[in-house]
Amino acid sequence: MATCLVVGAHGQDGTLLRELLARRGDAVVAVGRGEVADVTRRDEVLRLVEAVRPDEVYLLAAVQGPAQDGPADARASYEVNTLPVVYFAEALLAHAPAGRLFYAASSHVFGEPETAVQDESTPLRPTSLYGITKAAGLLHCRAYRERGVFVSAGILYNHESPLRRPGFVSRKIVRAAARAEEVTLGSLSATVDWGYAPDYVAAMAAVLQADGPGDFVVATGEPHTVEEFAATAFGLAGLDWRRYVRQDPALPHRGGKPLVGDAGRLRAVTGWRPTVDFTGMIRRLLQAELDGAGPGGGARCGSPSADGTALRRPESEKDHL
């Protein structure tokens, strides 16, 4: 049985990872905002690692948002997204040298890549504060790896689950589909490499079981547009998405080149592969919304068909025809 520290324990990934580690039989210490330790303070991280002597540490906490553009945002971003790599790496060197550290980086470290598909050798060209601070964290991982710390970074592409907050476009779409309501989105042509979050936290755990540390892209390698996502979600609900989806170019949306990842190295080292495809992911999100399993609940207005390939049309559809 391993002792695992999960930092950012109550977000989507932290919640799913804690459940996975518990099923594995590990002892999990959950570190959230304002509880156990303040990971933006070096002294508190040192005391935490000295007390727990963890076998594995997962750094999942992050500050991310479109409004990050001022000094206060920059400071908070570095304090959460970057500096904990340094603090935990130093703490492991001092108090748990056999411990292993996982850092959740992001596809945003690539910014505007020159290649259509990115892997671990793709140059870092971040264009946002979030991407810059995650790239800095990734570089710290590489530096501490040279000093003998077992520290691996997962370069995570978009991954979804029913635990997503309502502000995320994936949740907005499936909520609207479940309730047969209109939804206004930004660019329908925005292209995303979307995966299923439980698969991605399984990759995190697998990375720390590998023989050696490294950087690993975690992605499906399949691009899909927001329009495809909406068409699939409403289609599974038995609805014509064109009746419900409105586009407002003024809404914030990801611009620039699509980010699509090559997880070949992860597959070669760990054997990891996604278990849920794009349509299967949306089906699970929609079913959770119909069942009221997501945060804030959802209208229960349908269920899977007998063969599990589609979801029943919401009763409220007749009001929109």
The stretch 81-92 carries a mean pLDDT of: 98
Query: 29-84, pLDDT tens digit by residue?
Result: 999 988 999 999 999 999 999 999 999 999 999 998 654 456 678 999 999 999 99
User: What is the mean pLDDT of the segment spanning 200-209?
Assistant: 98
- Looking at the domain assignment, is residue 93 inside a domain? yes
pLDDT of residue 316 exceeding 60, the answer is no
SS (H, E, C) the chain: CCEEEEECCCCHHHHHHHHHHHHCCCEEEEECCCCCCCCCCHHHHHHHHHHHCCCEEEECCCCCCCCCCCHHHHHHHHHHHCHHHHHHHHHHHHHCCCCEEEEEEEHHHHCCCCCCCECCCCCCCCCCHHHHHHHHHHHHHHHHHHCCCEEEEEEECCEECCCCCCCCHHHHHHHHHHHCCCEEECCCCCEEECEEHHHHHHHHHHHCCCCCCCEEEECCCCEEEHHHHHHHHHHHCCCCHHHCEEECCCCCCCCCCCECECCHHHHHHHCCCCCCCHHHHHHHHHHHHHHCCCCCCCCCCCCECCCCCCECCCHHHHHHC
Which residue range(s) make up the domain with 128? 1-156
Can you give the pLDDT at residue 91? 98
Lowest mean pLDDT among 68-77, 191-200, 221-230: 68-77
Q: Is residue 317 domain-resident?
A: no
* 229 within a domain of the structure (yes/no): no
User: In this model, does residue 239 exceed pLDDT 80?
Assistant: yes
* CATH number, residue 40: 3.40.50.720
- pTM for this entry: 0.90
pLDDT of res. 34: 84
Q: What is the spatial distance between Cα 107 and Cα 116, in angstroms, rounded to a whole number?
A: 13
Is it the case that residue 309 has pLDDT exceeding 80?
Answer: no
Task: Tell whether the model's pLDDT for residue 7 goes beyond 90.
Answer: yes
Judged against a pLDDT cut of 60, whether residue 308 lies above it is answered with no
Per-residue pLDDT for 304 more than 50?
no
Considering only residues 99 and 303, tell me which one the structure prediction assigns the higher pLDDT.
99
**Domain-located, residue 190:** no
Is residue 11 a part of any domain in this protein? yes
Mean pLDDT of the chain: 90
Confidence category of residue 10, pLDDT binned at 50, 70, 90: very high
The answer to whether residue 37 is domain-embedded is yes
Number of domains in the chain: 1
pLDDT beyond 90 at 135: yes
Instruction: Give pLDDT, residue 292.
Output: 86
In a domain, 198, yes or no: no
The two structure tokens encoding residue 72: 């206060």
What confidence score (pLDDT) does residue 157 get? 98
pLDDT greater than 50 at residue 287: yes
Is residue 59 one of the residues assigned to a domain? yes
